[in-house]
């Protein structure tokens, strides 16, 4: 009887959640394409009742926002392939429009690696969360913060697996746990497609940039495993990764997410 009550209690408890967004920078087309490939992979697995793939759904709910900057993305497709920002207008400025959404989050906003100049590609906006896109994600994450254990933002390019902080070279107190996850993710990517990904804190392996989504997700929303994944490549194609690499990018990221949730589960069990 006691075992039955325990089983019912476990079944009634909410699943933990993992959030993935992509395309916060409009020109990084591979990121939304990879997110859509992952959604497709899950959908096919459900239709075919593929238990090997569906095992990823047993312990976690997966939330995807495949294009966090739709207006900027559409503009990059029809007008300026390398457009980066949103398409908002502030201060009545008709020439220099848009905000870098990954400098717009309210954690150490505008401290470093961001600009007050509306014409800059790293313009952080007139104030934190000035953009409806970042506010929408903020509100969702705060609503589900009690169940979310991981936040992942897909970018491109460079092949980096990054954890906070972006505003300082100081490391989070749980740096070793974050690196445990990223080391496992990097290993499975290499075994899947042969690609090598550099891992570490954003500032120490890439550059300083305050007001980023992963910093805010960890520090303010309290999501412990918060990462930015800079997808392929190393610069041969840069933002113009060929269409025929989408499938491989999706395949390596599916393996990466499977390994990520396994590594997080291990850490949760030993806490």
Active site residue 230: yes
Q: What integer pLDDT is reported at residue 68 of this predicted model?
A: 97
With 0-12 / 13-18 / 19 or more C-beta atoms within 10 angstroms meaning exposed / middle / buried, residue 18 is buried
Q: What integer pLDDT is reported at residue 93 of this predicted model?
A: 64
Q: How many domains does the chain have?
A: 1
Residue among 87, 59, 62, 63 nearest 73 (CA): 87
As averages over each run of 10 residues, the pLDDT of the chain (271 residues) reads 35 78 98 97 91 85 97 98 96 84 98 96 97 98 97 98 98 98 98 97 97 98 98 96 96 97 91 67
Helix axes 30-48, 246-270, angle to 10 degrees: 70
Alpha-helical (H) ranges within the chain are 2-12, 30-48, 51-54, 56-59, 70-78, 132-143, 175-193, 202-205, 213-219, 246-270
With 0-12 / 13-18 / 19 or more C-beta atoms within 10 angstroms meaning exposed / middle / buried, residue 74 is middle
Find the catalytic residue in 28, 230, 252, 259: 230
With 0-12 / 13-18 / 19 or more C-beta atoms within 10 angstroms meaning exposed / middle / buried, residue 241 is buried
| CA atoms of 255 and 271, how far apart (whole Å) | 25
Residue 23 sits in a domain whose CATH number is: 3.40.630.10
CB atoms within 10 A of CB 65: 18
Q: What integer pLDDT is reported at residue 183 of this predicted model?
A: 98
Domain that holds residue 40: 3-269
Q: What integer pLDDT is reported at residue 4 of this predicted model?
A: 37
First to last CA, the chain: 28
Residues 238 and 160: beta-carbon distance below 8 Å: no
Q: What integer pLDDT is reported at residue 271 of this predicted model?
A: 67
Question: Which two three-digit tokens encode residue 146?
Answer: 């009690």
| CA atoms of 113 and 87, how far apart (whole Å) | 21
């Amino acid at each position: 009887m006691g075992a039955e009550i325990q089983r019912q209690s476990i079944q009634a408890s909410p699943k933990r959640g993992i959030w993935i967004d992509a395309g916060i920078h409009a020109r990084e087309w591979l990121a939304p394409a990879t997110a859509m490939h992952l959604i497709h992979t899950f959908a096919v697995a459900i239709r075919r009742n593929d238990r090997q793939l569906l095992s990823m759904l047993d312990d976690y709910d997966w939330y995807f926002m495949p294009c966090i900057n739709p207006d900027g993305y559409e503009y990059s497709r029809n007008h300026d392939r390398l457009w980066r920002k949103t398409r908002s207008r502030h201060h009545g400025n008709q020439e220099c429009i848009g905000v870098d959404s990954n400098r717009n989050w309210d954690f150490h906003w505008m401290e470093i690696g961001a600009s007050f100049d509306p014409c800059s590609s790293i313009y952080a906006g007139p104030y934190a969360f000035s953009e409806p896109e970042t506010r929408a994600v903020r509100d969702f994450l705060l609503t589900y913060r009690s169940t979310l254990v991981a936040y992942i933002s897909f970018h491109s390019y460079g092949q980096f697996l990054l954890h906070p902080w972006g505003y300082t070279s100081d490391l989070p107190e749980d740096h070793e746990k974050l690196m445990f996850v990223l080391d496992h993710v990097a290993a499975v990517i290499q075994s899947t497609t042969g690609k090598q990904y550099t891992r570490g804190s954003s500032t120490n392996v890439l550059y300083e940039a305050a007001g980023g989504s992963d910093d805010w997700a960890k520090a303010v929303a309290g999501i412990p495993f918060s990462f930015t994944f800079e997808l392929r490549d190393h610069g041969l194609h840069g933002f113009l990764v060929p269409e025929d690499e989408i499938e491989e990018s999706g395949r390596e990221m599916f393996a990466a997410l499977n390994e990520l949730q396994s590594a997080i589960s291990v850490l949760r069990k030993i806490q």
